Amino acid sequence: MKHINKKLLLACIVFAAIMVSSCYKKFDPESYAPPLNIGGFTSSSEIGSGSLVGYWAFNGSLIDSVSGNSGTGVGVSFSKGVKGQSLQGANNGYVLFDPGPAITGMHSFTITYWVNSPVNANGIVGLVNLSNTKDFWGNIDMFFENGSTADAAKFRAHITNNGSAGPEHWISKDGLPAIFGNWVSFAISYDEATTTFKYYVNGSVIVTDVDPAFGNLNFADSGPLVFGTVQFQTDPSLTSATGSQPWASYLTGTLDEVRIYNKALTDGDVNSLVKLEGRGK
């Protein structure tokens, strides 16, 4: 009898332990960790929120979250991105988006995005560009230049003021390491008040150009934004000045988290944005 009582007592203790443990959540160390805070921000959406005029997350759609409008894709798809999905480019593939005056009327700007691209062996590769319907180059052109190698990328940004009648500015940087085959964040900005251009890679300033002759920014004859190629490689060409060029090509890699602000973000804000996006925030 005592033997049976001992077994019964043991069973009761085990049952009680199971019931008590089921009343408590499993210990999760992350729930006790302080919230992520980088530069005073906990989310990328907090940075420059009042100045954000375009944002394409490419999470299975071509929608700009700011305007609610969608771009038009030609030969593109979606794949894994830095945050969620990304735009998957292709030969002869690109996306067009009709920007409103919030973008075409900017006087200062910052454009940020992530790219994971193979080496551009078949010509320059346009990334994010604002077309000009009458000139050879667009209002804003950003691309990998010919002559890039696996260990030394060549990046170019070109900004035109008042069309062909006005000044233009080129940002050129050669020999960038570890760009191709990796997710890399790029950003360019222009501060009209100081006539200063900046180029960032992974949140760090790589180029600072002060160009007093550039003056007050005014985009002329603005056409669509182009993701994944330059303006004259679309079909048909977006500019009456020229058609397809044999030395130009398409982004066959991926593009993600494209953001356009109507002001020049601070260095700290750009750095915080990259760190938060890189952590999926």
Give dist(CA 161, CA 166) in Å, integer.
5
Band of pLDDT at residue 31, cut at 50, 70 and 90 = low
- pLDDT of 109: 98
pLDDT, one tens digit per residue, over 214-247 is 999 999 999 999 999 999 999 999 999 999 999 9
Contact indicator for 151, 220 with CB cutoff of 8 Å: no
- Each residue's pLDDT tens digit, 68-124: 999 999 999 999 999 999 999 999 999 999 999 999 999 999 999 999 999 999 999
pLDDT value for 8:
52
pLDDT of residue 196: 98
Nearest to residue 86, comparing CAs of 117, 107, 61, 110?
61
Per the CB < 8 A criterion, the answer to whether 66 and 52 are in contact is: yes
- Residues 24-40: what's their mean pLDDT? 66
Segment 185-199, tens digit of pLDDT: 999 999 999 999 999
Q: What fold characterizes domain 45-278?
A: Jelly Rolls (2.60.120)
pLDDT at 3 over 90: no
145 SS3 class:
coil
Q: Quickly tell me which residue has 């007093």 as its tokens.
A: 212
33 pLDDT above the threshold of 60: no
pTM given for the model: 0.88
Residue 80 has phi, psi (to 5 degrees) of -65, 140
Beta bridge partners of 97: 225
pLDDT of residue 24: 45
Distance between CA atoms of residues 61 and 179, nearest Å: 26
How many angstroms separate the CA atoms of 189 and 217, rounded?
12
Per-residue confidence at 165, pLDDT binned at 50, 70, 90? confident
Of the two residues 182 and 7, the one the predictor is more confident about is: 182
User: How much is the average pLDDT of 150-157?
Assistant: 97
First to last CA, the chain: 63
Q: Chain-wide mean pLDDT for the chain? A: 91
Work out the pLDDT band at 169, boundaries 50, 70, 90: very high
**What's the pLDDT score for residue 134?**
97
d(CA 90, CA 159): 25
270 pLDDT more than 60: yes
Contact 186, 115 (CB under 8 A): yes
pLDDT at 1: 46
3-class DSSP assignment, residue 46: helix
In sequence order, which ranges of the chain are alpha helices (DSSP H)? 2-22, 29-32, 101-104, 267-278
Could you tell me the pLDDT band of residue 14, with boundaries at 50, 70 and 90? very low
